[in-house]
Amino acid sequence: MKFFRLKIIHLFIHLHIFLCKKAKRDQSYVLKKCEKYLSNAGYYAGKYISYGRSSYVYSFKPNNLKKKVAIKIGRTKKYKNTLSNEMYFLKIIEHENIIKLKEDFVIGKIKCIVMPFYESNLYNYISKLKSEDIRKKEILVQILKALAYLHSQNIIHNDIKSDNVLIDEDLNIKISDFGLSCTNDEPFKIFLKLKFEENEGKYYHYSPEIR
């Protein structure tokens, strides 16, 4: 039994390494494919940041020497509607604690959105805070203001988690990632194609009625 458990762990480790290498190859390919167009559009020195189900995220330097930007580049055809959904909501949302859309464009059939670049998110930052730290209140108030605004506009974010809460050195909070967002009158529409039974652990933060 012990040998069997070790074998399973060994297989999972190899699978994780394989998936990481594949993601690295894919993000390099996507960057190379889009780099020429992006340089013509005034964005240089692309560096990989992270990836999600529907896109890769890179940091770029604009040629006008302004602050770096984050460019989200569509990753798969299967989830192309997720990026389109995010574009739609970012264009109609206006709040100081929600990420702003700088511009969007299409390279071939690949959709891209340009946003301000943030060095960190709440997931990385929260480990630095102590339980009595007053900064927690400052952060929470900003998050609640953003959510109150969204709900006043009949918008449901649907994916609030620490990874999607961006933060700068001055504790300015920006809610990001609206790929799963929807309006109050269609809360189930965005989830119809998600196979929760195959990804049970991934959706633990969704409300029971959605799961």
For the chain, the structural domain boundaries read 2-203
The larger pLDDT score, comparing residue 201 to residue 112, is at: 112
Which range has highest mean pLDDT (92-96, 132-136, 153-157)?
A: 92-96
Quick one: pLDDT at residue 19? 44
How is the chain classified by DSSP, letter by letter? -HHHHHHHHHHHHHHHHHHHHHHHHHHHHHHHHHHHHHHHTTEEEEEEEEE-SSEEEEEEEETT----EEEEEE--GGGHHHHHHHHHHHHH---TTBPPP-EEEEETTEEEEEEE--SEEHHHHGGG--TT-THHHHHHHHHHHHHHHHHHTTEE-----GGGEEE-TT--EEE---TT-EETT-TTGGGTT--GGGSGGGGTTS-TTT-
Quick one: pLDDT at residue 99? 97
* Catalytic-residue membership of 159: yes
Quick one: pLDDT at residue 98? 98
Residue tagged active-site, from 104, 133, 159, 163:
159
Query: What's the rounded mean pLDDT across residues 2-8?
Result: 52
Query: What's the rounded mean pLDDT across residues 78-90?
Result: 85
- CATH annotation of 2-203: 1.10.510.10
Q: Is 74 left (phi over 0), alpha (psi -120 to 50) or beta?
A: beta
Rounded-to-integer distance, Cα 76 and Cα 93, Å: 25
pLDDT by residue (tens digit) across 35-70? 888 888 888 888 888 887 788 899 998 887 678 999
Among 23, 65, 21, 26, smallest CA distance to 45 is for 65
Q: What is the pTM of this model?
A: 0.75
In this predicted structure, the answer to whether residue 89 has a pLDDT above a threshold of 90 is yes
Which range has highest mean pLDDT (17-21, 72-76, 129-133, 164-168)?
A: 164-168
In this predicted structure, the answer to whether residue 114 has a pLDDT above a threshold of 90 is yes
pLDDT by residue (tens digit) across 171-181? 999 999 998 88
Q: How confident is the model at residue 17 (pLDDT cuts 50, 70, 90)?
A: very low
